[in-house]
Amino acid sequence: MVTEITALRIVGTAFYEEYAAAMARTRPTADAGATDRPGSWRELAVARSLDPARARAEERVQRFLDAAVELMMENATGKDFTVQDVVERSGQSLRSFYQYFAGKHELLLALFEESVRSTAEQLQQTVDEIDDPLERLHRFVVEHYLACRPLPSTSSRRKIPSPAAMAEFGQKLLTEHPKEASRAFMPVVSLFERLLDDAAAAGVIRPGMDHRSVAGIALQAIMFNAFAATISGTPISRDGSAAADELWTLFFSGIGAGTSKGA
């Protein structure tokens, strides 16, 4: 969702020097494994406040996130807002912004994590209503596809960041910050992996597969369907159920119990 992240300088005062040092101590390191889970970027933003101020910090961080979402909703690509735009829309100060985020990239990362976590919670609620392991897998693929697909230009926007913009930022995150991306995607990957485990135990998908790898391949296909529509020149329909089922058929043809390795 970001064409290029410009380095933002924090200049001058001892306050910002102190903040930069504290931020470096709390930010996940590039060497941290995906399973370390030091906390989401939103949680880290809040954690930079002293405990008595945590409630106020939660509110302020959420106001910055809400402001960024509003700005993204106003622009179909979600690319054209700046830190100053977010600050003005939130009604807070630039100093307050840098108290919680190192720059626009951290704000976008927090938004991306919130989007993935919210999607995982909705998918969990959906599959919890289904008993059959294969149908749970089917519903996951279809519902996640529908959640990620871009909306027709005539549709009213949902109160979430543009799926195409989130997909573009996700792609940038995967290539430039793979460890951060792995942590961000973990809620959806873990849910999908559990569904694959249940389906394998029930004998409805082919045994012996690496379910984490299968989940990664499938989620890549699902999430980046926004780019597939652009590449193929396929018009975006209002109802994406047919396309979602086509993807499911393609997916299940590769992992179904009746298929064989190398067939």
Which domains does the chain possess? 14-107 (no CATH), 116-255 (1.10.357)
Calculate the average pLDDT of the chain.
Answer: 74
Indicate if the pLDDT at residue 154 is higher than 80: no
Q: What is the mean pLDDT of the segment spanning 236-256?
A: 77
What's the pLDDT score for residue 236?
A: 63
Each residue of 190-230: pLDDT tens digit? 999 999 999 999 999 989 999 999 998 888 888 776 566 66
pTM of structure: 0.69
Q: 129 is written with which tokens?
A: 């209503």
Q: What is the pLDDT of residues 113-138, one digit of tens each?
A: 888 888 899 999 999 999 999 999 99
